[in-house]
Chains A and B, each alone.
Chain A
Amino acid sequence: MTGVQPGIDDRRGIAGTPAKVAFLMHSVLNMNVRAPGIAVHRGPIEDLYHFLMDRGFEVVQIPCPETTYVGLRRWWFTRELYDSVGYRRHCRRLAEAVCDLAEAYHRQGARLYFVGMGLSPTCGLRMTQSDPAWGGKPFEVPLDPPAVPGKGVFVEELEQALAARGIPVQMSDVAPAAIYPPYRVPAAGPYPTSLAAAIEEVKRFLDA
């Protein structure tokens, strides 16, 4: 190891303070909270789990706002279905709790990262799913997602809460190719379209 001072290593700061903290949406480490029919991993995204552990990240797993509000048997939702007063309040409360922890780590001098889930109506950062026609009597929806540029409801609330407190956090989201079945990966847009490229993108983000 080079350039290392006594009491400091390349992964953790002074006196064990973590140098890097990754705030992960729940399903990055546990796909069991996803809505039925869209989980391509049994548990965590294993490549990312091992990467985070190998790099010595402190991991803060954010509870899934959808699971804790709607439950595990939920339908596939669009952003419009989640964009309600009650769900926003739920997300805001959770975002404030996340901010309390982020603030504590920030005071310790840690570098903070947030990893959302691409396309999610709750925790997508670059794209989300939107279709104002969804609602009312259930009907068959296409397998390919109604993807649009935009952010999920929780990400919006988290960004506002972090900005209000002046907490700097690097933010990204996992590309759909790493988390969705192939039929739900948009052919166009900002995300890499292969699994390998999607994983590499997150690793590069966390290595920055």
Chain B
Amino acid sequence: MSEIEEAPRGDGGAPVAVDHDAEHRSAVPMPVARFDDPHLGDAARHPRRTEVIIALFLIVGIAGVAAFGGAFVENASTQVLAVSFGVGLFGLGFGLTAWGKYLMPRGPFEEARHELRNSDSDRQAMAAALVERTGVVVKRRRVLGGLLGTGFGIFGVVAAFPLLRSLGPVPGKTLFVTDWRKGSLLVDVNGRPVHKDDLQPGGLLTVFPNGFENTDNGQAVDQTVLIRLQSSGNIVTMRGRENWGPDGFVAYSKVCTHLGCPVGLYERQLELLVCPCHQSMFKVRDGAVPTFGPAPRPLPQLPLTIDPDGYLRAQAGYNQPVGPGFWERTTPAWENTSPR
């Protein structure tokens, strides 16, 4: 900081803290903005003009806020309300700021900066009070101090426990289960059962187990995407899933294994499911293994069957937790494919 210009002042040229006594400051008049203030330039050289301009802004401001009042009474459109309100306040504000900037005393004035630190003896006195009183009160009553500390410690733990624990249930198995069961009927979001003729090859539908609307989290947890691939016949997406995809139908959990967004996009030509949140892509024909993006695991597959009436049913529930990963999740990636 060698470049600081120390203003020549006082007698010796050394920086002198300005004396802030009232009698010192009271004698000097505070100059209004002056013509030759180098900060001001044109505005101060033409104070009348500046006044007029400021007055115009204030008048615009008055008109604006008055217009806002009128617009409010008339229940005008949002745009009219906004422009009258905004222009009104901006006009008043601009006028006031310009008034302050160009026509009010701006010095530059100076304020002394007193050191925050106290004298060494004051500091020592405080430290002494802390240490010596503690010595008397606590050190001679170690047992009491220990008991009090233990009490506060236990209370801290005990108080935190109900605060947290009362918020909700322990997770238990809630993250592991869905409402899909052996024989669950596939229904659409309105509860209508899905018949195998409802979907053309290449079609897609979001399905749920029947009765999902009576559950707390069914729509979020059970959501499953049912796809009818172009090729008919039994679709085998992986070893061990030989009879999971009857008549071209496959079903996967719609909850992305990355962050739980619904995997809502389907690229029909490439047979890819795409999550619009972070662009994870899942290969439908290959057990929904992720081929792109941050998703770490395939979407769990729901084993399907077609009942004698032609309605689609689940052979079983999902064989692993659906959705994103969490600490207690145990199923290794896609090795355990036997239906639950």
Partners in one complex: no
